[in-house]
């Protein structure tokens, strides 16, 4: 009987912690990005176009981005096609504080997620000895426009933009 009460209390606590995560204001900040987006940008690979989508998944326990971009062939460069998947998931406090990224080139990047103000969502990669630090920033411009910057740094402090673009919400 005592064991059943302890188990019941444990389940109530765990269920409350998980269901409470949806009410966290940082999870709500991600809602702006929900939907389908189309954009254009430029950077080191050249001028390109693409699209991406954001949506909650697994009963609102993660937030998933799927992205596709293409950079046309140039006289000295072949066509570049880039596909990736980003999964935002809760940290130990239940906030959307972590993300993992996979792409068609075989990259896997672990990110920390921060919300420095009401209009920016910043993903910063974990520092590893043999790789640059990556930073992906989404900045709200208006209700249907977002600016995206992907930057890199060798020291984790001085970032250089690799690709930047604006995207419009698709209908």
pLDDT tens digits, residue range 118-145? 899 999 999 888 899 999 999 999 989 9
Scan for tokens 């060798």, then name that residue: 154
Q: Where are the domains of the chain?
A: 25-169
Instruction: Name the pTM for this structure.
Output: 0.81
Rounded distance between C-alpha atoms, residue 103 and residue 82, angstroms: 7
Neighbours of 103 (CB within 10 A): 14
Rounded distance between C-alpha atoms, residue 158 and residue 118, angstroms: 23
Of 58, 56, 40, 36, nearest to 48 by C-alpha is 40
Six token digits for residue 1: 């009987």
- Please state which CATH class domain 25-169 belongs to: mainly beta
Is the pLDDT score of 13 beyond 50?
Answer: no
Scan for tokens 């949506």, then name that residue: 55
């Amino acid at each position: 009987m005592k064991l059943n009460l302890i188990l019941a209390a444990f389940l109530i606590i765990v269920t409350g912690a998980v269901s409470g995560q949806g009410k966290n204001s940082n999870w709500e900040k991600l809602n702006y990005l929900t939907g389908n987006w189309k954009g254009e940008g430029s950077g080191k690979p050249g001028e390109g176009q693409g699209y991406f989508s954001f949506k909650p998944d697994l009963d609102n326990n993660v937030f998933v981005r799927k992205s596709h971009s293409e950079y046309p062939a140039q006289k000295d460069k072949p066509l570049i096609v880039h596909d990736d998947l980003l999964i935002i998931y809760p940290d130990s406090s239940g906030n959307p504080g972590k993300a993992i990224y996979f792409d068609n080139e075989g990259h896997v990047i672990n990110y920390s997620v921060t919300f420095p103000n009401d209009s920016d969502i910043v993903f910063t990669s974990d520092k590893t000895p043999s790789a640059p630090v990556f930073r992906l920033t989404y900045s709200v411009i208006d209700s249907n426009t977002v600016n995206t910057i992907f930057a890199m740094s060798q020291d984790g402090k001085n970032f250089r933009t690799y690709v930047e673009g604006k995207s419009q919400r698709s209908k």
